[in-house]
Chain A
Amino acid sequence: MKIALFATCIVDAMYPEVAIATTRILERLGHTVSFPERQACCGQMHINSGKFHDAYPVVRNHVLAFENAAWDYAVAPSGSCVASLGHQHPMIARYNDDESLAGRAADIADRTYELCHFLTDICGISDAAEALGSYFPHTVAYHPSCHGMRILRLGDRQRDLLASVEGLELAEIQNESECCGFGGTFAVKNPAISGAMLGDKTEAIVSTNAEVCSGGDVSCLMHIGGGLSRTRRLIPAESNAPATVHLARILASTKEEPLMVPAEGATVTGGALR
């Protein structure tokens, strides 16, 4: 099939390896992947901040970027950006009196899938080791992000795919369905409460003793990873607090080209694993 990759702004600029992994997975399955270059961002940050007018050109750009390309499905390594497309784009178009854009946005949203959703429901994959050769011999604590869970209703799709990776052992995070406290500009507008939520989350993650914390949204992972990195720097006893890795990179990891978990104390970078 022809797949248009929606890389999302933060993956494009901060976590390129996640989009590279997504591309490799899709190509491994025999799909033709394209990258509509006009794409930029889903606009969620503006929309969730109430900037409905500022969000309009961002939404319009997304629609123009994707409607001019030929593709069967669009796939993004981000539950929250896909949720924004379906849940918010038509609303923003209507708010700005553009009924035509609302319809076109809804059409694009209907054919845009979160990566694991696409792999399970469209490609019929239930075993990542078998279908993708996924191999990652580490303990992984899985964080289900809010928008994937509650807007896209992904259910256990991401967790089940991770569990089917060869060598991977899943660890359950206590109160795993509780929000990590990111919430886009929420983290900046309400830093105290966001920080308290993050503190509880990182504590629960550290107590799993997992080597890696994974999930389907880099924004949550950047927030959680930033908290874990702070923990590592400030609390010597937690110096091996887990690295955060987007699940696309774990699914793309194989015996031939394994994704390496860096040695203890390795640094936080967008480009590297942690």
Chain B
Amino acid sequence: MTTRDIDVTLPRETHNDRTMLGMPTVPGRGNLREVAPFQEASAHESQNVQLRTNLRNATHSIQDKRDQRVAEMPDWEQLRDAGEAIKSDVIARLPELLEQFEAAFTARGGHVHWARDADEANDIIAGLVEDNARVNEQGRRDVIKVKSMATQETGLNEALADRGIDALETDLAELIVQLGNDLPSHILVPAIHRNREEIRRIFLRGMDDVDPDLDSQPAHLAEASRKHLRRRFLSADVAVSGANFGIADTGTLSVVESEGNGRMCVTLPKTLITLMGIEKLLPSFGDLEVFMQLLPRSSTGERMNPYSSFWTGVADSDGPENVHVVLLDNGRTRALADEHGREALHCIRCSACMNVCPVYQRSGGHAYGSVYPGPIGAILTPLLTGVDEAENGTLPYASSLCGACFDACPVKIDIPTMLTRLRAQDDEVNHGEKIPRTQLDAALKGAKWMMSDGRRMNLIGKALPIAHITTPSEGMTDLPGIGGKWTGTRDIPQPPKSSFRSWWKDNRDE
């Protein structure tokens, strides 16, 4: 793919698979699929008491820290506005900025690759590893990895394993997930669903060099992982990273993190390969001022994260000598072509929205299927793959539209409105038939007839006295059909004897 394939002319019909000039947009592939309808997956997950307790404690403590750090910023709202404005600019000028980035990165000795989808990205990276990493005694190759959502999205580790390459996650939480043969359930704290005792057991089972008397103190767990990783840092030929930001005017890439393991990866091995979603650009180095304030506060509740690494091309006897970046589309131009949906590409993956989300807190990340869980996942996943992909049709409904995510988002993505719009797309694409498919659809059709005319609302008033007499005074407690979804956990009050309309007629109308 070249930048010329990216056409941001916008079609009105948002679920089109072509942009206005007829260029095909590519649906995202890889780990962007619901495993089961959200309603079922989340119902199952929410019954896991341990999971709910771990999630509740973890998200609440991050949320509290985030709130404190935000409260001490008098210009927080202006910063959010600035973040939103810069991101809108990036999205509006994406082709131009990508070309600028490519030129700057290449001029400084780096190599740029373009990947249309997950498979292409994985192929490019596997090829680069084969060219640059030695074969070990087991006849395989090793790479060390910085925590990266993009490589999770493409399923890079599995693709590499198929080609004889073992990828070792170096982020502590990512390592816990990897050793536990588990899936990440949060974009910042992938092992958020695990507690200390579970982590201890995973280490004992998964690390060959661990002290068998390891206890579950966080410091001891961290020390065990540090020892486990040290040898690999020093021997690896190749590292793979994601990127938090790519700076268009200087060709700089960056990773911000808390542990320093990412710093080791981007400085020690000779070859460094970065996989970056095309939306991660910022126009200029100065723009970092805004994002380096927004991101750490929103994600970990810190004023500044402990390690921020920036690299621009190659330099003599300093850091990697062979630097590559793979620019990933995987559905991003598809989302970009959606006039309302493209705002989801502003996301800087801070995870604030999932920490405040009451639905995420009870369902956990796995219920969303995709590597992007929570509110942003509920919009980003269907935007990348297409809402007409039957698998992702329930994600836009995985929200009570309470709006907490919008308030928390550092770049002001209006997630609730986008959820509603995606529901409308889903309704047009999948439920467009004249005959309602579900009881709920039928009920809504009936309600539309009733609610588009005050005179018809009068009919309800006429029916009320009968309804009042025929329902028990303690309300309705066990209804059949969709009513039962309501009365599963709550009672419905007995209707009143008469409506407000009737009262008004009797008491106020002359």
Residues of A within 8 A of B (CB): 7, 9, 11-17, 19-20, 23, 33, 35-41, 43, 45-52, 54-55, 57-58, 60-61, 65, 87-88, 91, 95, 146-147, 149-151, 177-179, 181-199, 222-223, 225-227, 229-230, 233, 267-271, 274
Known A-B contacts A12-B457, A23-B508; A7 and B500 likewise in contact (beta carbons under 8 Å): yes
Contacts of A35 in B (CB 8 A): 501, 504, 508
What CA separation (Å) do A270 and B359 show in the bound complex? Answer: 28
Known A-B contacts A52-B424, A191-B489; A270 and B457 likewise in contact (beta carbons under 8 Å): no
Contact A150 B494 (CB under 8 A): no
Contact of B403 among A60, A150, A198 (CB under 8 A): A150
Q: Which residue of the partner chain A has the closest CB to B503?
A: A16
The 9 A-B pairs at the shortest CB distance, nearest first, are namely A50-B423, A183-B400, A226-B490, A271-B496, A192-B43, A179-B402, A41-B451, A150-B403, A195-B489
Contact B427 A50 (CB under 8 A): yes
Contact B485 A57 (CB under 8 A): no
What CA separation (Å) do A185 and B423 show in the bound complex? Answer: 12
Q: Is B85 in contact with chain A by the CB < 8 A criterion?
A: no
Contact B406 A150 (CB under 8 A): yes
Distance in Å from the Cβ of B68 to the closest Cβ of chain A?
16
What CA separation (Å) do A196 and B45 show in the bound complex? Answer: 12
Contacts of B452 in A (CB 8 A): 40-41, 57-58, 60-61
What CA separation (Å) do A191 and B479 show in the bound complex? Answer: 14
Contact A188 B400 (CB under 8 A): no
Contact A267 B494 (CB under 8 A): yes
Distance in Å from the Cβ of A63 to the closest Cβ of chain B?
11
What CA separation (Å) do A146 and B403 show in the bound complex? Answer: 7
From 435 to 487 in chain B, residues with beta carbon under 8 angstroms from any chain A beta carbon are 440, 444-445, 447-448, 450-457, 460-461, 464, 468, 473-475, 477, 482, 485-486
Contact A39 B454 (CB under 8 A): yes
What CA separation (Å) do A17 and B404 show in the bound complex? Answer: 31
Contacts of A14 in B (CB 8 A): 493, 495-496
What CA separation (Å) do A20 and B501 show in the bound complex? Answer: 10
Known A-B contacts A46-B444, A57-B448, A270-B495; A188 and B482 likewise in contact (beta carbons under 8 Å): yes
Contact B464 A191 (CB under 8 A): no
Contact A12 B500 (CB under 8 A): yes
Distance in Å from the Cβ of B407 to the closest Cβ of chain A?
6
Q: Which of B94-102, B170-178, B273-281, B391-399 contacts A (4 or more CB under 8 A)?
A: B391-399
The number of chain B residues touching the other chain, given as a range, is 35 or more
Contact A269 B496 (CB under 8 A): yes
Contact B358 A181 (CB under 8 A): yes
Distance in Å from the Cβ of B63 to the closest Cβ of chain A?
10
From 419 to 436 in chain B, residues with beta carbon under 8 angstroms from any chain A beta carbon are 420, 422-427
Q: Is B492 in contact with chain A by the CB < 8 A criterion?
A: yes
Can you name 22 A-B pairs with beta carbons within 8 Å?
A9-B457, A12-B457, A15-B496, A38-B453, A43-B451, A54-B445, A61-B452, A95-B424, A178-B358, A183-B401, A193-B46, A194-B400, A198-B489, A222-B493, A226-B491, A229-B475, A269-B475, A269-B493, A269-B495, A270-B493, A271-B468, A271-B494
Contact A11 B500 (CB under 8 A): yes
Contact B501 A223 (CB under 8 A): no
What CA separation (Å) do A185 and B420 show in the bound complex? Answer: 12
Contact of A267 among B396, B474, B482 (CB under 8 A): B474
Known A-B contacts A54-B448, A183-B401; A188 and B485 likewise in contact (beta carbons under 8 Å): yes
Distance in Å from the Cβ of B444 to the closest Cβ of chain A?
6
What CA separation (Å) do A178 and B504 show in the bound complex? Answer: 36
Q: Which residue of the partner chain B has the closest CB to A146?
A: B402
Distance in Å from the Cβ of B359 to the closest Cβ of chain A?
5
Q: Is B498 in contact with chain A by the CB < 8 A criterion?
A: yes
Contact A40 B457 (CB under 8 A): yes
Besides A16-B500, A193-B42, A193-B363, 20 more A-B contacts (Cβ < 8 Å) are A7-B501, A15-B496, A16-B502, A33-B508, A49-B423, A54-B444, A88-B420, A146-B400, A149-B403, A179-B404, A186-B401, A193-B46, A196-B362, A226-B492, A229-B491, A230-B489, A270-B494, A270-B496, A271-B468, A271-B496
What CA separation (Å) do A192 and B399 show in the bound complex? Answer: 12
Contact A58 B448 (CB under 8 A): yes
What CA separation (Å) do A192 and B452 show in the bound complex? Answer: 31
Distance in Å from the Cβ of B343 to the closest Cβ of chain A?
14
Contact B500 A40 (CB under 8 A): no
Contact of B497 among A177, A195, A267, A271 (CB under 8 A): A271
